[in-house]
Amino acid sequence: MDQRECESIELGLASSDEELRRLAVERLGALPVEQALPRLVECLGDPSWRVRKAAVERIVAAPEAWRVADALIRALADGENPGRRNAAVEALVHCGGRVVPALLEATGNGDVDVRKLVVDALAGIGDERGTARLMELLADADPNVRAAAADALGGLGAAGASPALLALAVRPEEDGLVRFSALRALARLEAPVSAGELAGALDDPWLRPAAFAVLGRTDDPEALEWLLKGLVTPQRSAREAAMAALLRAVGRLDGAAAERLMQRIREAVRGAEGLLEDALERLASAELATRLVLIQFLGLLRCEEAVLPILAAARDEALHEVALGALESLGAAGERALDDLWSQLDTDLRRLGCELLGRTRGAGGAAHLVAALDDPDSELRSTAARAVGRRGCVEALSALVRRLTSVAEEPDPDAEEELAAVTEALVSLAGAGGEATERAVALLAERVEGAGEAVRVAVATVLGRIGRPQDAHLVAFLLKDPSARVRRAAVDALARLEPGVDSEPVRLALADESALVRVAAASALGASPSPRALHDLERLAEDEDPWVRATAIRAVGAHGARDRGHAPLPLLEEALADDGPVAIAAVEALRAIGGTEAARLCTKVLSRPDPELLQAAVACVAEHGETAVLAELLPLVSHPHWPVRAEAIGALGERGVTKAVPSILRRLEIEQDDFVRGAILRALDRLER
């Protein structure tokens, strides 16, 4: 790099514009490591997180691990800039195992802060080579280092450290933070520690919650007594820790043993004044991890007064599945409680209630779901429809077909979601077979005559999704419909009813006056193994409509992918010269067929102006091309459209085309797009290994 370029980098690093500083940091990678590294470490303290992130990435990519580790460890001693220290730890962690030897040596540093941060870095890397030294650091002179070492051993899964951690946890004269960290590590290691061994910690109110977490992983009978007593303690943190531990204990048991323990827990709670009220109150305000525990614990108690608070908690996406699972475990009791509350629920809670009723099988739930299918709120109706299908609520068939008719005729775009939900429900119920299927098909057939276009489309779609070949005559009738939309839906349905067969009705649709219908017919024939289907598709590849030609070419590609020995490559080569959508379809077909000849053919479109076509061609060449063919991608490194540049650069990097390095480096110097710069850096990282 010449002097002028070096000066440009220095000016960029000194700029008040964070984007210029970030670009300068990335350009530092072109300097020799001994020049770049000090500047990069300095940039770890930059006020902009984007600049710090770029510096971390460049440092991690630098060679000479010893030099990188030395510079970063020295940065840990910067007491004036905590941001630089934290970024240095992050960089050390990303460097991984190659810096572990230097970190182990640095654990003897005289600076307490450095030793502690080095331990944090070792914990983040998770390399087992650090285990022995971390165990020694349990005796470090500084309590913060001892606590960090204990946490690190827990994170490393160092089961052999359990005796030393236990000794630390129960030592009365030890610092409280160290004892707490040792207990937390024992819990993470799932060490089988008895209540007797933790006596000192269990007697300490501050340590008791962490000690309970350890006891939740043991089968010691005395531990169980401690945890049950923990439910009645006035200390909230200990109560909640006992709940979590008891849930783990229940999870380790099966059948009758689990039920006996749950019964003991329920008995203990009955004698714990205020526990239930406090748990229900905390359910709305505690941190996420605690709320997860409370929901499961309240579900275990099977108390009906918890149904509404748990249902309300399900509004939170992070709690949704756990909350509904807890309510589902209540079975008929939960459904009865919900039935009593139904008139009090707002629309949002009714939606959640319908979702729950889709998982239960009580006597009253079906009536609420059927009624909800006619609710004014479309989202509630959709949820009820999905629940009906999941529950297998056959009595809702008439209501569902009525709803299908109604929603199909609604002009509102939001009706699409409800239409999909009703369709899925009908397909699910009809899929049960027997009388339910016959009734569903009969109800749908009744709706066709005199119905509007949208309803006829919906009926054809549902019949196709139900998938009974014996219903093909009903769908074939719709192929004569005056509406092109209906005819297209009928072709799609027939393809489902008779998969892999080039049925005569589908073949007749190849000559339909509507391009939409011909597109559907071409797509259907793509699944047929019949040679006659391939012949028909070759004719459609000359259709006047480009979208019909494109669909036919894709279908030809599907045939070629199934039988590569007879892939119609000349037809696809001819399609490459067609309009954009047809050419893209030809490239995608060639990629599906695969092989070096397919990749070579795709290079014919690399001079075309369409970015989407170029991206598709690059993907095919990258997947199937030999080295000489891959070289055809080099000019695209400087293509004016950034998606094409990114695709080409990524392909060259993935396939290890080292001759592309000079072109990619030249592009890096002028590239302004962040996404493409990221692709360049990743490609160079692969190519320079």
* Residues spanned by the domain of 676: 602-689
107-116, 323-332, 352-361, 530-539: the lowest-pLDDT one: 530-539
The mean pLDDT value for 353-381 works out to: 90
The answer to the question of residue 626 being in a domain is yes
Residues 234 and 243: their CA atoms lie apart, in Å, by 14
Q: What is the pTM of this model?
A: 0.72
Mean pLDDT score of the chain, rounded to an integer?
Answer: 89
* DSSP-derived 3-state class of residue 409: coil
Q: Distance (Å, rounded) from C-alpha 389 to C-alpha 382?
A: 11
* Arithmetic mean of pLDDT, 357-364: 85
Average pLDDT score over residue span 519-541: 82
If one counts every other C-beta atom within 10 angstroms of the C-beta of residue 684, the result is 19
Tell whether the model's pLDDT for residue 320 goes beyond 70: yes
Is 123 contained in some domain? no
At 250, is the pLDDT very low, low, confident or very high (cuts 50, 70, 90)? very high
Mean pLDDT, to the nearest integer, of 182-199? 93
Residue 595 is given by DSSP the state: S
pLDDT band of residue 2 (cuts 50, 70, 90) is: low
Instruction: Output the pLDDT for position 500.
Output: 53
In a domain, 687, yes or no: yes
For residue 490, what pLDDT is reported?
Answer: 85
In terms of pLDDT, which residue wins out, 614 or 501? Answer: 614
Rounded mean pLDDT, 211-224: 91
Residue 332: pLDDT band (50, 70, 90) is confident
- Per residue in 536-591, pLDDT tens? 888 888 889 999 999 999 988 888 888 777 778 898 999 999 988 999 999 999 99
Cα-based torsion angle of the residue sequence 300, 154, 68, 44 in order, rounded to the nearest 10 degrees:
50
Residue with tokens 């009865």: 336
Considering only residues 529 and 340, tell me which one the structure prediction assigns the higher pLDDT.
340
- Number of domains present in the structure of the chain: 1
The answer for residues whose C-beta is within 8 angstroms of residue 396's C-beta and 6 or more apart is 366, 369, 370, 373, 388, 425, 429
Q: CA dist 472 to 393, 437, 497, 530, 654, Å? A: 26, 15, 7, 20, 48
Q: What is the pLDDT of residue 1?
A: 54
pLDDT of residue 171: 93
Q: How far apart are CA 268 and CA 382, in angstroms?
A: 42
Contacts 24+ apart (CB under 8 A), 372-378: 373/399, 373/400, 373/403, 374/399, 374/403, 375/347, 375/350, 377/347, 377/351, 378/412, 378/414, 378/415, 378/417, 378/418
pLDDT at 600 over 90: yes
Residue 505 has pLDDT above 80, yes or no: no
Residue 548: the pLDDT is 92
pLDDT in tens, 601-637: 999 999 999 999 999 999 999 999 998 899 999 999 9
pLDDT at 83 over 90: no
Is 147 inside a domain boundary? no
| pLDDT (0 to 100) of residue 304 | 85
d(CA 89, CA 76): 7
For 553, 577, 603, 609, 639, the CA distances from 606, given in Å and listed in that order, are: 19, 12, 5, 8, 11
Percent of the chain with pLDDT over 90: 50
Is the residue at 631 inside a domain? Answer: yes
Residue 271 reports pLDDT greater than 80: no
Q: Is 628 within a domain?
A: yes
Alpha helices, DSSP H only, in 196-274?
Answer: 199-202, 208-215, 221-230, 236-251, 255-270
In a domain, 683, yes or no: yes
Per-residue pLDDT at 313 exceeds 90: yes
DSSP state at residue 413: T
pLDDT confidence bin for 213, thresholds 50/70/90:
very high
What pLDDT score does 498 carry?
Answer: 64
Q: Residue 673's domain is classified under what CATH number? A: 1.25.10.10
pLDDT of residue 689: 65
- Per-residue pLDDT at 645: 93
Asked if residue 680 is part of any domain, the answer here is yes
Q: What is the mean pLDDT of residues 325-331?
A: 91
Mean pLDDT of 204-228: 92
- Which H, E and C letters describe 521-545, residue by residue? HHHHHCCCCCHHHHHHHHHHCCCCC
